[in-house]
Structures are given as C-alpha cells and as structure tokens.
C-alpha cells in the first residue's frame, strides 16, 4: 500500500499526550509527520488490489474473525484506512483499547445487541429514559433480544442468567437525568454495562473510567458537531471490538470514509465546542428557571441538585424544560433557534420530544420514562447567549 494511505494500528490504549484537548487534536494523526502529511488522507477505495492471492485469503480470514492489524484492507466492508483513524482517535479520547464505527448510532446499538444475542445472552436490562428509537429497538425484540426496563436502583434485581447487557444513557435523553455509572456497574457485575455517552462526549465524561464496559455514541451529534454527517461508534475492549467487526462485516453497516474523515476532523474542536456550548446552556437554564412561562427546568446540577461525584465535568450543552403553555407551539414561535430534531450542532436546535425524538414510543412508555408531554429539548449551539435568550423569551411569551 502507498505510504500516504496507511493508517495507525487499530488499538490505542490510554492517551499518550496528556489532556483531552491535546489528544483531540493529535489522536489518529501521530504518524502524519513521518508520512510527510499534515492533514489525514481520505481513502475512498472500495477495493484494495493485491497480486498475492494467498495473502489476500489470509487477510480475509482475519477480517471475518474480527481481527484488524491496521494493514491494507481487502474490501471496504471489512475496513477502511480513514475510518480507522477516527476509530483510533475516539478510542483514545474514551480511554478504550479499541473502537468500531458504524453508519449510524442505531447501527452501532444494533451491532451490540446482535453480538450479545449471538453469545446466548439475549436479555437486556435498560434504564429509562433513553433515546426514543433506542427504547423502541430494545422494546421491539426485532433482533432477538428481550428487555426489562428498570430504574438504576431496580436494575440489579432485574438481572437473570440470560442477561447479557445493561444499557443506560447518562445524562439521559431527553430529561438529562444522571445515573452513577460506577455504582450501577458494580451492582450489575459481571454483566457488562453500555453507556450511551452521546450527550456528554469524552470531553466531559469517560464512562470506562467509571466501570462501564463500553460507550456508545451517535457520532452524528457532538462528535461531528456541524449537523452534516451521520455515524455511530462503540468504544470498548479489543476482545469485544472483534465481535462487533464481525457483525459489521456480515451486516454491512459500515461508516462511509468521507463521514469518517468529517468525524475525525470534528473531534479536534470537540473540547472547545463543548466548553463554550455548556457555558451558554448553564446560563440559559438559569434564566429559564425564573421565567413565568416555564414550570420546570432540567439541567445537571441546576440549583445545587445532587449529582454523581467526579463523573461529568460540567452540565453539558443540553437543556430540557417544561412549558406552562403550548409546548408544541413554542417550536413554531422561535425565530433564531432552528426548530429541528437532532442535537450537538454549532447552531441551537429545539424540538418537542413527544412529537419527534420520542414519538415512536407510545404515551404509556413515555410516561414510564418520565417524559412529560410539555417537555421541550434544547440543544445549545455557539450563538451569543443574549441572542438565544431573546429568542426563547419572545417565544415563551408568545405561547404563554
């Protein structure tokens, strides 16, 4: 393979250069100077030529077993050099030995479920609330799993001999409730805990350092950060990564190389974006809590509310609040903030979970998850706080 398309070895281990800010800039790029490059190369190949058929066969055997030594792929469904760089970088930021990227966050969760079902452990304990489509997938049993929904305190007693996974999202979508990861992992051991870390990102929280076995991201959100790329990724041990690569190889839920390039680039500014957006979110949460058109604000640590110790740095960039008036009407009343599903972009996004992100759940399931019909979810971007507040204030006045 041409040296300008090579990628570093897949497994990364612990960060090599200190702070998350430094690693976000350099992870997955440590070999570029030796290659005579500054920007990571974009590898769009779907196939990789070789005159050595025996070597190709050996490599294909390795890929079907989930092994990836960082050498030349055989076919793009098995591996891609650009995607590998993103995987290595995300693994470093999460403190994992490996990461496996997929076409979307739901493809990533599906791969984890298929891996556990194929291992003969089809039962899942899920701590509500979760992202609506994650909840729906777990509840549907479409992939051969069965699911018991429970609170974090109830989760250990919900385990059975067939339980292969505990799923939790903290902070949760859309209520921003937090769960102590270490306490949950200790109580549910030896069953592995998967933490959806989409809202916090490794810039604010590293679940593996608190006992989780794996973290999952909808990379579409903060990791990309600009609302223009879709992907998912799981950070975990190399042992479990091999199984996930096997699932990805046979199901074809691969991340496109251009998406891998964009996500890797997005990581470089992740810590800076998260700090700035979190600062604005905290201020908006404070102001919303005093607005007469708002009956309740949900934001980690607001008003000194207790939180899991030493788990997440700051409150994050998401705000949830309950409207005293017409909640769906608020979506149509904003003028600066973008009324759209999704989150984590540089522009602020606002949506009504019962109508959009959690609409796929029936009303009873939403109630069980603690998601009221008047809840609004706000993803805070990089706009000026005064401009955002002016828009929220006028919209709340309009529907109150």
Q: In terms of domains, do 230 and 297 share one?
A: no
| Backbone dihedral region for residue 258 (phi beyond 0: left; psi -120 to 50: alpha; all else: beta) | alpha
pLDDT at 356 (0 to 100): 83
Looking up residue 331, the CATH number of its domain turns out to be 3.90.1150.10
255-280 pLDDT tens trace: 999 999 999 999 999 999 999 999 99
| Element (DSSP H or E) covering residue 258 | helix 257-268
Tell which of 268, 287, 319 closes a domain.
Answer: 268
Per residue in 40-88, pLDDT (tens digit) is 999 999 999 999 999 999 999 999 999 998 888 999 999 999 999 999 9
The CATH number covering residue 196 comes to: 3.40.640.10
Task: Tell me: do 255 and 292 sit in the same domain.
Answer: no
pLDDT tops 60 at residue 4: no
Look at residue 16 in the predicted model and tell me its pLDDT. 52
Interhelix angle 105-118/238-251, nearest 10 degrees = 110
* pLDDT at site 336: 98
Task: Please tell me whether residues 248 and 337 are part of one structural domain.
Answer: no
d(CA 164, CA 113): 9
Distance between alpha carbon 296 and the CA centroid of its chain, in Å?
Answer: 26
Assess whether 295 and 395 both reside in one domain. yes
Q: What is the pLDDT of residue 71?
A: 86
Residue 319 has what pLDDT?
98
Domain co-membership, 282 together with 183:
no
Catalytic residues: 77, 131, 196, 221
Report whether pLDDT(9) > 50. no
Q: Answer yes or no: do 103 and 244 share one domain.
A: yes
What is the 3-state secondary structure of 164-200?
Answer: EEEEEECCCCCCCCCCCHHHHHHHHCCCCEEEECCCC
CA 384 to chain centre: 26
Q: What's the mean pLDDT in 339-364?
A: 93
Residues 176/129, Cβ–Cβ less than 8 Å: no
Phi, psi angle pair for 123, to nearest 5°: -85, 135
Q: Could you tell me if 38 and 127 lie in one domain? A: yes
Q: Which of 216, 244, 268 represents a domain boundary (last residue)?
A: 268
Are 185 and 280 in the same domain? no
Do 236 and 145 lie in one domain? The reply is yes
Q: What is the mean pLDDT of the chain?
A: 94
Band the pLDDT of 17: cuts 50, 70, 90: low
Judge if 235 and 286 occupy the same domain: no
CA distance 330 to 240: 44
Residue 12 pLDDT exceeds 70:
no
Last residue of a domain, one of 268, 300, 330: 268
Beta strands (DSSP E) in the chain are 98-102, 123-127, 146-150, 163-169, 193-196, 214-218, 232-236, 294-298, 318-323, 338-339, 349-351, 375-379
Are 96 and 149 found together in one domain?
A: yes
Res 160: pLDDT? 98
3-state secondary structure at position 136:
helix
**pLDDT one-digit tens code per residue, 211-242:** 999 999 999 999 999 999 999 999 999 999 99
Number of structural domains in the chain = 2
- Cβ pair 55, 44 in contact under 8 A: no
User: Nearest-CA neighbor of 340 among 332, 348, 353, 349?
Assistant: 349
189 and 110 co-located in one domain = yes
Identify the pLDDT of residue 38.
Answer: 97
Domain extent at residue 161: 3-268
């Amino acid at each position: 393979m041409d040296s300008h398309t090579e990628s570093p070895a897949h497994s990364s281990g612990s960060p090599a250069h200190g702070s998350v800010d430094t690693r976000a800039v350099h992870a997955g790029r440590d070999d570029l100077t030796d290659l005579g490059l500054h920007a990571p190369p974009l590898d769009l190949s779907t196939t990789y030529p070789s005159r050595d058929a025996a070597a190709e066969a050996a490599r294909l055997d390795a890929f079907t077993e989930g092994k990836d030594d960082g050498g030349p792929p055989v076919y793009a469904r098995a591996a891609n050099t650009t995607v590998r760089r993103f995987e290595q970088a995300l693994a470093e930021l999460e403190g994992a030995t490996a990461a496996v990227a997929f076409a979307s966050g739901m493809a990533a969760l599906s791969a984890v479920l298929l891996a556990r079902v194929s291992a003969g452990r089809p039962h899942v304990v899920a701590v509500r609330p979760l992202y609506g489509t994650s909840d729906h997938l777990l509840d549907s049993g479409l992939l051969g799993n069965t699911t018991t929904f429970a609170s974090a305190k109830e989760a250990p007693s919900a385990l059975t001999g067939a339980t292969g996974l505990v799923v939790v999202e903290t902070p949760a979508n859309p209520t921003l409730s937090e769960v102590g990861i270490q306490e949950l992992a200790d109580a549910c051991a030896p069953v592995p805990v998967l933490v959806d870390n989409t809202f916090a990102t490794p810039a604010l929280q590293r679940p593996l350092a608190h006992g989780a076995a794996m973290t999952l991201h909808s990379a579409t959100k903060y990791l990309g950060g600009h609302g223009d790329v879709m992907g998912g990724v799981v950070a975990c041990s190399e042992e479990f990564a091999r199984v996930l690569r096997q699932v990805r190889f046979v199901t074809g839920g691969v991340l496109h190389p251009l998406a891998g390039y964009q996500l890797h680039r997005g990581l470089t500014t992740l810590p800076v974006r998260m700090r700035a957006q979190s600062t604005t979110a905290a201020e908006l949460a404070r102001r919303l809590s005093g607005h007469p058109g708002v009956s309740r604000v949900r934001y980690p640590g607001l008003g000194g509310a207790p939180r899991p110790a030493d788990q997440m740095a700051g409150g994050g960039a998401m705000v949830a609040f309950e409207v005293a008036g017409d909640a769906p009407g608020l979506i149509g009343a904003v003028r600066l903030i973008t009324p759209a599903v999704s989150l984590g972009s540089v522009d602020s996004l606002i949506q009504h979970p019962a109508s959009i992100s959690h609409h796929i759940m029936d009303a009873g399931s939403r109630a069980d998850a603690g998601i009221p019909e008047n809840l609004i979810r706000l993803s805070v971007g990089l706009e000026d706080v005064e401009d955002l507040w002016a828009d929220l204030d006028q919209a709340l006045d309009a529907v109150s």
